Structure 1
Amino acid sequence: MAKRQIPVELAKLLDAVDPDRLMRTVEGICTGERLTNEAEARALNFMAQEFERAGCRVGWETHPAYISTPGRARLEVGGRAFECVTHPMTPATKGVSGPLRFLSRSEASGLGPDALRGAVALVEGLATEAAVRRLQEAGAAAAVFITGRSIHEMIVSRVWGSPTPATMNDYVSIPAVSVSLGDGAELRRLAAEGAAAGIETEVDTRWVDLPILTADIPGESDDFVMVTSHIDSWWLGAMDNASGNACGVEIARLLAPFAGKLRRGLRIVNWSGHSHGRYAGSTAYCDAHFEELRRYCVLNINADCLGGCGATVMTEAPSLAATHGLAERALREAAGVENYEGHRYSRSCDMSFWGVGVPAVFSQVSEQPPATGASADAFKALFGGGTKSGGYGWWWHTKDDTVEHLDPEFLARDVRVFLDAVWHAVTDEVLPLDAAAEARDLERGLRVWAEKAAGALDLSAALERSARLVRALEALDATVERGACTAHSRNCTVTDVLRILIPLGYIEGSIFSHDPAAGAPYVPMLRGVDELQGADPHFRQCLLTALRRRVNELTWELGEALALVED
């Protein structure tokens, strides 16, 4: 098959991406650890000046948000102090002590209610909310996590964004700290000898006015594409996420001369509250602009952790089924990647717009190769293994995330991929979104649930409508190719259908709220099917009642989507 020719204008833009300028932008942003403080304000002001210099329309807004900043932490075991960090959204404590007890991964995942009563648990891996909660429910007084070569910062919260009355008590109640892999080995030895551990932590959790910076390049229509990134960082955060911020600045510089000439506008949005507010910034932006986003935003392209040294794996970037083709094209045209596989989005990456129904593509586009040897052991201890890449680099979320761990040429390469995707999204007559692929993906998910339900739940009507929807969307695209349907009509129908399909595929609750920051299956509104087997008769019938109502909702929404296409 012949390779598709890259448009001449796009080729010129890709050639104009400047690695040296990108690195200067990164250095201008890395003014210190950026956690809703003076360093963050300096970085945002620097970016605003760059956007204004490029010719963008710059906007500022603030929204109340709940953030948590870790302070001093102390861990003492056997009379010896160990370097450690504590984590946002965990409680501050003036002193907790107990016998130090090491648990393997399998032991930590199968604990009973009183298995750790009064102990300080020592476990391998990142400090996640799910891990801390398991230890808390087992009666642990505190938790110590053995992370990597350097100590990894994490936020311990399942509340997506700022809390509501329904979620304000959904935070863990025991302190947690993390240590390095090297100190972890010594702590394991001390635990085996029966040593006691003492922990003190300082955590400042409060409501603040969270800043959001926007830069707009208008198009010919009211529709727009978003390029989004978080400005806050652990330590200097050169890769995470000055690299993503620099990507937005570079794209603004290159596309601002096209203001008023693009089919769709471009809005670059930079928020705080990602690292220390569990996506509080993106959630606040969604809540404040819900109707505008639902009516006019056709795509969200998130930029995070770009250009790392050694980041040669470029086949795993996340996408929706609807945006897989766009991702594949951008990676091929801008970076020569021919074997893009991609993966489904997890509940991460500031993906706060599922309820709105805004399609998304990317976050990172490059990762480290799979680890080998001693590095593989360390990687598995940290993440559990089982991935097709080596993650973002050992310096991710550590004090070592500095400019020296960025590769200027790799950063420029990654930015070219983003620029390519943006260019097609704002200039292509036929919007590069594949609603038929999203419908096929949803149908596959429904078939999985139907098989699991084993006849206990009737999904036949939903399956029939999803199959009809796939055929109708495929026929719609065929009519555009034959000239029997305008591109504008097709684009409006596709975006309206995706406003329905994306929430069905990715959220469990209301489209106006935000599900917890936890793992979610495809079509999460049917996750109760997993609880049917082995349930007692009363609970099973209660569960089936709830599931039938969710199936009704699902079937109705699919009918609405089908009507949009068939009409």
Structure 2
Amino acid sequence: MGRRSCWILVLCRSCDAGRFCATIWTEKQSCSRVRRGRKHLENSGPLGKGRGLLLVQGGIPFRRGVGRNIVAEDNPGGTTMLNGAEREFLAGLDAGAVERDLEEISRYERPSGSPGEAEAHAYVAGRLEAHGVDTVRTAFPAWTFAFGEARMRFWAGGREDSLPAKIWGYSPDAWEEPVRGRAVFVSPDRFPPDSIAWFADRTSPSGRDLEGRIVLSTTRSAVAIRDACARGALAYVFCWPYGDETVIHESAVCAGWGAALPEDVELYPRIPVFAVDRPTGERLIALAEGGSLDIELRGRSRSEVKALPLLEAFLPGDSPYFILLGAHMDAKHHGATDNGTGCALMLALALRFARLKKRPFGLRFCWWSGHEFSKYAGSSNYALERFDELNEHCLCYVNADVPGSKGADDFSQVAATPDFMALARRAVRDVTGQDGEHVGPVNSYDQSFYNIGVSSCFIWSSQLVPGSPHGSGAGAMPWWWHTEEDTFGKHDMEVLMQDCRLYALGTLRILEPGWLPDDGALWDRLIGELEKLDGRGITLRPVLDVFRRNRGRLAGKGGLKERLRAIRRLNQALYCQRAPYFQDFRMGDGYVPGLSLPLAALAGGGLTDKARFVLDRYAVAQRNRLMVLAKELESL
């Protein structure tokens, strides 16, 4: 095909924000290149009502931001565009207010349950109440952790030295009684895989080969740490394997989820876990592999049950159904991008939707605590305490986490459940011009509502572009993630406003008259995943027959109430292992995890007879669980 070109109008970053520039692009110029560079030809007049950027790829215009509905002359069929009501609604998002809110929120250090978090909650509540939005502040119990000062001393080649280190969450305290031992590097492949197989035996096949040692490794797998403990290790040092930044990232390692069950208690570490940056880790590993290296570690750590806060804002609708939207307020240190940007985004949405005259469904906004210091305890407790109303009336959960970071103008990963994927992808295309691909399943990011069967729309949005100088090497997060360096100024307002518009547009379209979830896509995904598993050591033909029969009878049929009843069971089959009123543990990713995870472990080999027996019986029990869900669908 020959080269085609067309004239389009854009709002240019480098020119006066109140003017358009005329720019020419050709079919052979990629969308990513268009996003990163522009050739200015001439100013063509003042900017009209509505702001944004229209891109062209392959002669077809794609929207970036909120622009006027301009269609190129050689676009044969056009593409999905914003209608007038949508453009007007998105134009009401105030970028200046969003940035001021972000600056205020990120002023405070916000560990879970801290005075700084309370100040940030009070600020958001004050902004909402000043605009007539009802808020409620409550508290809930959580098993949370706190950590403080950490020190590392080491001896190698007859010399003593010290290096910076941090202790990670849920570690036993190691301050009054420091741990000291010979260091050894254990590569990730010398630990069991991070899979459900560990649950089936919980003993290490390697015996006590790490007795009295301090383990250095480049994996932060919860299974690896438990395995090191079972092999006699005194402590575990996670050596950051990604970028070359000299800041130390803080986190916690456990396979539990916020509202833990009794059997989940042992999923938390029993030996202290420390972290060092990559240069320090590489130095320690070289010393350990080159000869004798002794390490002494001290760290202050505390785990306790305490009350954490929850801030909610309510926008009533014309029916009892509602959309749940959330962002975690607690943060490591100031947490400007994790997650001050997400909290400011949610505040902007609440204020904008409060001005919407007609809402067929309600909107419920939550600013969670307990995300960073209690493994999603805020959203998990909400699922526990609000079980009945979520089960009966929640349409979906919309989550904002780490939006608007510098370098994060990649919207190609669309994380949503299948029944919201078409809506989410269309919103991404209409706001950013990018054609996002489905990513899933996601077993993090406050996805605490799968067991109830609640769908998700926008688990995250903007992501770092691969190879970004703001990234931590090949890792997915920016180099300042979970450090003292996550301060105001690490955001990109253009990207953050893209995130705001994206979330606003998707939510607005759910509120359109006559909207119904795409339950057919959810049926198809579940049946497709079951077909992949059928015959892999277990027969699923009877289960598949029931699901297929009911797909033809139920998919795309009935009203909202009827579809939600089916969607609950489909999500429980596709995403969960446990009952609706519990939380799944956090171990491995996969669709139909109750079957896919044990079957993958059984196929992988290296299991004891005990583990093989337990996993085989577990897979059969999960097949029975799926049949119960299928029969419940048949009764609808």
Q: TM-score, normalised by structure 2?
A: 0.80
Q: How does 1:113-128 map to 2 (within 5 A)?
A: 113-125=207-219, 127-128=220-221
| Aligned partner letter, 1:444 | G
Q: Match of 2:31?
A: none
> Per the alignment, do residues 530 and 519 of structure 1 end up closer, same or farther by CA in structure 2, a change over 3 Å counting?
closer
In the aligned structure 2, how far is the partner of 1:102 from the partner of 1:233?
A: 31
In the aligned structure 1, how far is the partner of 2:110 from the partner of 2:373?
A: 10
| Aligned partner letter, 2:279 | G
Q: Match of 1:84?
A: 165
* Residue of 185, 188, 203 corresponding to 1:105: 188
Q: Match of 1:479?
A: none
Shift of 1:545: 5.2
Q: How does 1:397-416 map to 2 (within 5 A)?
A: 397-416=482-501
Q: Is 1:230 the counterpart of 2:328 in the alignment?
A: yes
Say which SS state the counterpart of residue 510 (structure 1) adopts: coil
Contact 1:346/1:519, CA 8 A, preserved across alignment: no
> Per the alignment, do residues 475 and 303 of structure 1 end up closer, same or farther by CA in structure 2, a change over 3 Å counting?
closer
Q: Match of 2:239?
A: 146
> Per the alignment, do residues 195 and 545 of structure 1 end up closer, same or farther by CA in structure 2, a change over 3 Å counting?
closer
> Per the alignment, do residues 410 and 324 of structure 1 end up closer, same or farther by CA in structure 2, a change over 3 Å counting?
same
Q: Match of 1:387?
A: none
Contact 2:192/2:223, CA 8 A, preserved across alignment: no
> Per the alignment, do residues 237 and 15 of structure 1 end up closer, same or farther by CA in structure 2, a change over 3 Å counting?
same
Contact 2:326/2:399, CA 8 A, preserved across alignment: yes
Q: How does 1:239-250 map to 2 (within 5 A)?
A: 239-250=337-348
> Per the alignment, do residues 104 and 538 of structure 1 end up closer, same or farther by CA in structure 2, a change over 3 Å counting?
closer
Q: How does 1:385-464 map to 2 (within 5 A)?
A: 391-431=476-516, 433-453=517-537, 457-464=538-545
| Aligned partner letter, 1:445 | E
Contact 2:470/2:479, CA 8 A, preserved across alignment: no
> Per the alignment, do residues 537 and 519 of structure 1 end up closer, same or farther by CA in structure 2, a change over 3 Å counting?
closer
In the aligned structure 1, how far is the partner of 2:573 from the partner of 2:224?
A: 28
The C-alpha deviation readout for 1:114-171, integer Å capped at 9, x for no partner, is 332211111225x442332232233221111122412111111212014343323332
In the aligned structure 1, how far is the partner of 2:556 from the partner of 2:315?
A: 34
Q: Match of 1:19?
A: 95
Shift of 1:422: 1.1
* Residue of 313, 334, 341 corresponding to 2:431: 334
Say which SS state the counterpart of residue 571 (structure 2) adopts: helix
| Greater helix fraction, Structure 1 or Structure 2 | 1
The C-alpha deviation readout for 1:159-200, integer Å capped at 9, x for no partner, is 201434332333211111111112223222332231200011
Shift of 1:103: 3.0
Q: Match of 2:230?
A: 137
Q: Match of 2:148?
A: 71
Q: Match of 2:106?
A: 30
Q: Match of 2:125?
A: 48
Q: TM-score, normalised by structure 1?
A: 0.89
The C-alpha deviation readout for 1:185-243, integer Å capped at 9, x for no partner, is 32223322312000111112111111100001111111000111111001110110011
Contact 2:519/2:556, CA 8 A, preserved across alignment: no
Contact 2:424/2:457, CA 8 A, preserved across alignment: yes
Contact 1:90/1:174, CA 8 A, preserved across alignment: yes
Q: Match of 1:363?
A: 459
The C-alpha deviation readout for 1:484-514, integer Å capped at 9, x for no partner, is xxxxx42222211111111111111111111
Say which SS state the counterpart of residue 359 (structure 1) adopts: coil
In the aligned structure 2, how far is the partner of 1:475 from the partner of 1:280?
A: 35
Contact 2:181/2:234, CA 8 A, preserved across alignment: yes
In the aligned structure 2, how far is the partner of 1:406 from the partner of 1:271?
A: 21
The C-alpha deviation readout for 1:384-423, integer Å capped at 9, x for no partner, is xxxxxxx231111222111211001111111110111111
Q: Is 1:553 the counterpart of 2:625 in the alignment?
A: yes
| Aligned partner letter, 2:324 | M
Say which SS state the counterpart of residue 265 (structure 2) adopts: coil
Q: Is 1:353 the counterpart of 2:449 in the alignment?
A: yes
Shift of 1:105: 3.2
Shift of 1:442: 0.8
Q: Match of 2:574?
A: 505
In the aligned structure 2, how far is the partner of 1:165 from the partner of 1:193?
A: 43
Contact 2:108/2:119, CA 8 A, preserved across alignment: no
| Aligned partner letter, 1:77 | F
| Aligned partner letter, 1:418 | Y
Q: How does 1:196-235 map to 2 (within 5 A)?
A: 196-235=294-333
Say which SS state the counterpart of residue 109 (structure 2) adopts: coil
Deviates more, 1:250-259 or 1:464-473: 464-473
Deviates more, 1:294-303 or 1:315-324: 315-324
Q: Match of 2:599?
A: 529
The C-alpha deviation readout for 1:423-453, integer Å capped at 9, x for no partner, is 112234222x221111111112211221312
Contact 2:453/2:567, CA 8 A, preserved across alignment: yes
| Aligned partner letter, 2:110 | R
Q: How does 1:115-194 map to 2 (within 5 A)?
A: 115-125=209-219, 127-147=220-240, 148=243, 149=245, 150-191=247-288, 192-194=290-292
> Per the alignment, do residues 375 and 263 of structure 1 end up closer, same or farther by CA in structure 2, a change over 3 Å counting?
closer
In the aligned structure 2, how far is the partner of 1:357 from the partner of 1:539?
A: 30
Deviates more, 1:38-47 or 1:400-409: 400-409
> Per the alignment, do residues 162 and 544 of structure 1 end up closer, same or farther by CA in structure 2, a change over 3 Å counting?
closer
Shift of 1:555: 2.0
| Aligned partner letter, 1:53 | A
Contact 1:225/1:426, CA 8 A, preserved across alignment: no
Shift of 1:248: 0.7
Say which SS state the counterpart of residue 499 (structure 1) adopts: helix
Q: Match of 2:16?
A: none
Contact 2:577/2:622, CA 8 A, preserved across alignment: no
> Per the alignment, do residues 80 and 528 of structure 1 end up closer, same or farther by CA in structure 2, a change over 3 Å counting?
same
In the aligned structure 2, how far is the partner of 1:539 from the partner of 1:230?
A: 38
In the aligned structure 2, how far is the partner of 1:540 from the partner of 1:185?
A: 37
In the aligned structure 2, how far is the partner of 1:537 from the partner of 1:76?
A: 43
Say which SS state the counterpart of residue 392 (structure 1) adopts: coil
Contact 2:407/2:470, CA 8 A, preserved across alignment: no
In the aligned structure 2, how far is the partner of 1:92 from the partner of 1:541?
A: 37
In the aligned structure 2, how far is the partner of 1:540 from the partner of 1:100?
A: 33
> Per the alignment, do residues 531 and 107 of structure 1 end up closer, same or farther by CA in structure 2, a change over 3 Å counting?
closer
| Structure of greater Rg | 2
In the aligned structure 2, how far is the partner of 1:177 from the partner of 1:558?
A: 46
Shift of 1:537: 8.3
Contact 1:31/1:40, CA 8 A, preserved across alignment: no
> Per the alignment, do residues 375 and 250 of structure 1 end up closer, same or farther by CA in structure 2, a change over 3 Å counting?
closer
In the aligned structure 2, how far is the partner of 1:167 from the partner of 1:494?
A: 33
| Aligned partner letter, 1:405 | K
In the aligned structure 2, how far is the partner of 1:42 from the partner of 1:199?
A: 35
Contact 1:129/1:157, CA 8 A, preserved across alignment: yes
The C-alpha deviation readout for 1:434-473, integer Å capped at 9, x for no partner, is 21111111112211221312xxx33111111222333334
> Per the alignment, do residues 265 and 423 of structure 1 end up closer, same or farther by CA in structure 2, a change over 3 Å counting?
same
Contact 1:224/1:426, CA 8 A, preserved across alignment: no
Taking only aligned residues, the RMSD between alpha carbons, in angstroms, comes to: 2.3
Contact 2:217/2:237, CA 8 A, preserved across alignment: yes
> Per the alignment, do residues 345 and 544 of structure 1 end up closer, same or farther by CA in structure 2, a change over 3 Å counting?
closer
The C-alpha deviation readout for 1:47-79, integer Å capped at 9, x for no partner, is 101111232111111111110011111111122
> Per the alignment, do residues 531 and 311 of structure 1 end up closer, same or farther by CA in structure 2, a change over 3 Å counting?
closer
